Amino acid sequence: MTIPPAVIALLDGMQWMFFVYFICINLAYLALTYVSVFAIIRYMREHGVQYLPKNFTAYQPPVSILVPACNEEQTIVSSIRSLLRLGYPEFEIVVINDGSTDRTLEEVIKAFSLVEFPEAYRKRLKTADVHKVYASAQYPKVRLVDKVNGGKADALNAGINCARYPLFCVVDADCILQQDSLARVVQPFLEDKQTVAAGGVIRLVNGCTVKDGFLTGVDLPRKLLPTMQIVEYLRAFLFGRLGWSPMNALLIISGAFGVFYKERVIAVGGYRNDTVGEDMDLVVRLHRQLRSERKGYRITFVPDPICWTEAPEDLGSLKNQRMRWQQGLAESLLPNWRMMFQRNGGAVGWLAFPFMLLFECIGPLIEVMGYVSVLVMWFAGLLSADALLVFLFAAVGLGVLLSVNALFLEELSFHLYPRPMQQLKLFLAAILENFGYRQFNSVWRLMGMVRWVVRLRGRSRWGRIRRHATWQHEGDLQPQEASAG
């Protein structure tokens, strides 16, 4: 079969576009790695393990911890117990039950001796109807808001309406925090009065051991899929977000763990209910609003390993998660495109926003087209050995280099996987993820973009993954007579 010259020229052009794209994105990430190395060294020197002396507690502001939950009966009680044991002077926990159809509501009421409480609900942000508010004499720091299902963004807005303190912290219902997690993520608000938001590192709890709501043992999962996600998370957080933070160009704070100044969030209208990426959308709107007002502000990233969450262990859940993330990325960037290249845009408008738009938002389309063109030309005998080597270098070699750099940053800083077998397993995962995992990820992200383009969107919905919760100790699911203090 003879391939028309026009088709050959098109495939050749796509191939070179793919090569140039991969080289550019990896060079950009290498530059972020360079920034991150100096940032992590400086952070470890200034914010070491002993950085939080006891006399700082008098200056730490009170915080409302918001825990939105919908059908989280497997993990919600364990998560709340871990929050109750945080080493922080003054905080409250507001659990928002967003119309759960399982036993989430009953489990929380039973575990923490909650009773209906006639509390006035101040509706500063519009939300779905609230049924009841619960409180407990035994656990005075815990309150529960039971409401009509409206999605995660709506649940968070209801939590903000109920929050009593000037800062609020968002924690997913399947997350486990360390005792100093809240103190460390609030630290930027003490160091710089212009701070309006701060986020921390998300680590994967798969393979670890949790007892009585606390992480008691760090290990790697037995399955390859979550292990590759550990490498991916290290790459995303330790130089993806850490690289942007010194430039005040951080565009996303994970919805699993972040702290915000309440009044500033209310001023921009709270969380949008018509996007699946409500966490990134809020940060982008904060940047845009504060830039337009020409006000000094800081949105920062804390690189401590402070929040542990469960990663998908099956391809179906992982696919749905990545499609959702990509759709949320597009819904956050495109409506705010005017922020790009503004005169007062700073690093966020001139560097971070174009980077996210070109490499993260449009990137999956370019990657998939590139893979397709290389495969077609290979099977047609039109791809030379030299071109194939260039492809392997651009698509695989640089990708492995970036993942290994992330492992190096982990060893340089927090050293959570010290055993040689753990390091070897992560190194092998950093290589293997470039053969199949990244390609599937690109396809799923492209599907998320297609779903956004055809406008299959509405109100914010809950992202669903299959919860295995194998990391929990059996005792976590039983009521305890623990102190709320």
List the CATH number of the domain containing 95.
3.90.550.10
- The answer to whether position 93 is within a domain reads yes
Question: In the prediction, which pLDDT does 64 show?
Answer: 97
402 within domain boundaries: no
Q: Is the pLDDT of residue 90 over 80?
A: yes
The reported pTM is: 0.87
Task: Please count the structural domains in the chain.
Answer: 1
* 139 band by pLDDT with thresholds 50, 70 and 90: very high
* pLDDT at position 81: 87
Note whether 423 and 59 are within 8 A (CB).
no
pLDDT at residue 368 tops 70: yes
Q: How far apart are CA 288 and CA 279, in angstroms?
A: 15
Residue 160: count other Cβ atoms within 10 Å of its Cβ: 24
Residue 260 has pLDDT above 90, yes or no: yes
Residue 224 counted as domain residue: yes
Q: How confident is the model at residue 87 (pLDDT cuts 50, 70, 90)?
A: confident
Contacts of 413 by beta carbon, 8 Å cutoff, 6+ apart = 40, 43, 44, 238, 303
Q: What is the pLDDT of residue 54?
A: 53
| Strand pairing report for 167-171 and 257-261 | antiparallel
In a domain, 371, yes or no: no
Provide φ and ψ at 101, rounded to 5°.
Answer: -105, -5
Percent of the chain with pLDDT over 90: 42
Residue 216 lies in a domain: yes
Decide: 198 and 188 in contact? Cβ < 8 Å.
Answer: yes
Query: Which of 64, 94, 79, 44 is CA-nearest to residue 238?
Result: 44
Residue 74 has pLDDT above 90, yes or no: no
Looking at residue 59, its pLDDT comes to 80
Letter for the amino acid at 452? W
Q: What percent of the chain has pLDDT over 70?
A: 88
Q: Are the beta carbons of 459 and 154 closer than 8 angstroms?
A: yes
Taking only the tens place, the pLDDT of each residue in 170-209 is 998 888 888 888 998 999 999 899 999 999 889 998 988 8
Residue 381 lies in a domain: no
Mean pLDDT to the nearest integer, 158-171: 95
Indicate whether 377 pLDDT > 80.
no
Higher pLDDT, 148 or 459: 148
> What is the rounded CA–CA span in Å between residue 120 and residue 388?
67
* Furthest-apart CA atoms within the chain: distance in Å: 80
Which residue did the predictor score with more confidence, 175 or 161?
161
Overall average pLDDT of the 215-231 stretch = 91
Question: 24-47, pLDDT tens digit by residue?
Answer: 887 888 888 888 888 888 887 776
DSSP 456-468: ---S---------
Q: What pLDDT sits at residue 134?
A: 94
Better pLDDT: 481 or 441: 441
What distance in Å separates the CA atoms of residue 13 and residue 11, rounded to the nearest whole number?
5
Q: What's the CA gap between 7 and 1, in Å, rounded?
A: 13
| Bridge partner list, 209 | 217
pLDDT tier for residue 462 given thresholds of 50, 70 and 90: low
Measured distance CA(302)–CA(284) in Å, rounded: 18
Helix or strand or coil: residue 78? helix
Q: Report CA 297 to chain centroid distance, whole Å.
A: 22
**pLDDT score at 49:** 52
Mean pLDDT of the chain: 84
Does the pLDDT of residue 458 top 60, yes or no?
Answer: no
pLDDT at 451 over 70: yes
Cα three-residue angle 183-291-349, rounded to 5 degrees: 95
pLDDT in tens, 341-364: 888 889 999 999 999 998 899 889
Gap between the Cα atoms of 396 and 371, Å rounded: 12
Closest among 434, 142, 469, 87 to 310, alpha carbons compared: 469
* Contact predicate 348/287, CB 8 Å: yes
In Å, what is the CA distance from 141 to each residue of 79, 90, 92, 196?
14, 9, 5, 24
134 inside domain: yes
Q: Is 485 helix (H, G, I), strand (E, B) or coil?
A: coil
Tokens of 434: 């470039």
User: Would residue 275 count as lying in a domain?
Assistant: yes
Rounded Cα–Cα distance for residues 466 and 316 (Å): 9
Which one, of 273, 293, 332, lies nearest residue 196 by Cα?
Answer: 293
pLDDT at 485: 33
Average pLDDT over residues 155-182: 92
pLDDT of residue 483: 34
In which domain, by residue range, is 471 found? 62-352+462-477
Q: Is the pLDDT of residue 459 over 60?
A: no
Burial (CB < 10 A; 0-12, 13-18, 19+), residue 240, is: buried
